[in-house]
Amino acid sequence: MMARWRPWAALVLAAASMALASLASAQVPAARAPAAVAPAAPAAEYRLGVGDVLRITVFQNPELTLESRLNEGGVLSFPLIGSVRVGGLSVPEAERLIADSLARGNFLRNPQVTIIVLQVRGNQVNVLGQVGRPGRYPLETADTRLTDMIALAGGVAPGGADVVVVTGTRDGKPFREEVDLPALFTAGGAARDIVLRNGDAVWVDRQPLVYIYGEVQRPGPMRLERGMTLLQALATGGGLTARGTEKGIRVHRKGSNGEVEVTQPAMTDTLREGDVVFVRESLF
């Protein structure tokens, strides 16, 4: 009896094994193809400008070596081919233009041209105000940012403000932007680091001040820190003298109409640029 059922038992076991294998393969997730990595955006190339000094060499043709400054039209005169307008081109574009001109004129076969920018004069930015070294600075790369230029100018001087003003033109229209330098170094702040362009001016103003006098230990002007309260200003001034009184503190502030208003603020009130704090003497 048992011998008659053995073939059927083998068939049942084989079917069960196949079902379990199918179920296991269904539960194992298929291997995913690695996500494509977006290519990095190419860096913007420097564009040759009026006044730039170039050294041009042609491989195995030393007699064609030339050092020249771009004239007001962005044009230079090159041996054999004459005037070539390279202003506004990148260095590789200018190299190809000169090489193609030499080849089309049948002067050279497959010329290899190399251009080195010796002096950047055509693309410059003015950095003025409270910086270490004010002056005109070249835009040696097309993606030079505000922080790069301020670092090149020696950084903000000790008496400089945190807010920097950038002026220039964008798309043929006047451009003006106030940039909070400390905010550039917070999370997400790098996106507000302006890319400078030829002819831009960077102005770093003097630090904002408030003035404190009367019965304080160290009267005089002091830097207005962000959100500085009256109490913090008094502490910066060394506190009140023995004759000073908190009840006699007055703040003189110029209003929008140009008139000076006198207020008696609370210690937690914030001060504004140009405020004059006067601490009176106690009568008792």
Q: What percent of the chain has pLDDT over 70?
A: 84
In the predicted structure, residue 112 carries a pLDDT above the cut 90:
yes
Q: Report the DSSP pairing between strands 113-119 and 244-254.
A: unpaired
In the predicted structure, residue 259 carries a pLDDT above the cut 50:
yes
Residues 163-169 have a mean pLDDT of 96
- 41 or 52: which leads in pLDDT: 52
Going from N- to C-terminal start, the domains of the chain cover 53-119, 124-206, 209-281
The predicted pLDDT at position 80 comes to 93
What are the pLDDT digits (tens) for 116-160?
999 888 889 999 999 999 999 998 887 899 999 999 999 999 999
Give the residue among 146, 134, 142 at the shortest CA–CA distance from 49. 142
Q: What percent of the chain has pLDDT over 90?
A: 68
Arithmetic mean of pLDDT over the chain: 86
The predicted pLDDT at position 247 comes to 87
- Overall fold of domain 209-281: Outer membrane lipoprotein wza fold like (3.10.560)
The predicted pLDDT at position 4 comes to 47
- 258 or 114: which leads in pLDDT: 114
Write down the CATH superfamily of domain 53-119.
wza like domain (3.30.1950.10)
In the predicted structure, residue 38 carries a pLDDT above the cut 70:
no
20: pLDDT confidence band, cut at 50, 70 and 90? very low
The predicted pLDDT at position 275 comes to 96
The predicted pLDDT at position 42 comes to 53
The predicted pLDDT at position 43 comes to 57
**Against a cut of 0.85, is the pTM above it?**
no
Do domains 124-206 and 209-281 share one topology? The answer is yes
In the predicted structure, residue 36 carries a pLDDT above the cut 60:
no
The predicted pLDDT at position 164 comes to 96
Tell me the CATH number for domain 124-206.
3.10.560.10
Long-range residue pairs from 207-211, CB within 8 A, at least 24 positions apart, any chain: 207/130, 207/159, 207/160, 207/161, 207/162, 208/161, 208/273, 208/274, 209/273, 209/274, 210/271, 210/272, 210/273, 210/274, 210/275, 210/276, 210/277, 211/274, 211/275, 211/276, 211/277
257: pLDDT confidence band, cut at 50, 70 and 90? confident
In the predicted structure, residue 249 carries a pLDDT above the cut 90:
yes
**Lowest mean pLDDT segment, chosen from 20-34, 167-181, 227-241, 254-268:** 20-34
What are the pLDDT digits (tens) for 181-236?
999 999 888 889 999 998 999 999 999 999 999 999 999 999 999 899 999 999 99
Q: How far apart are alpha carbons 69 and 55 in whole angstroms?
A: 9
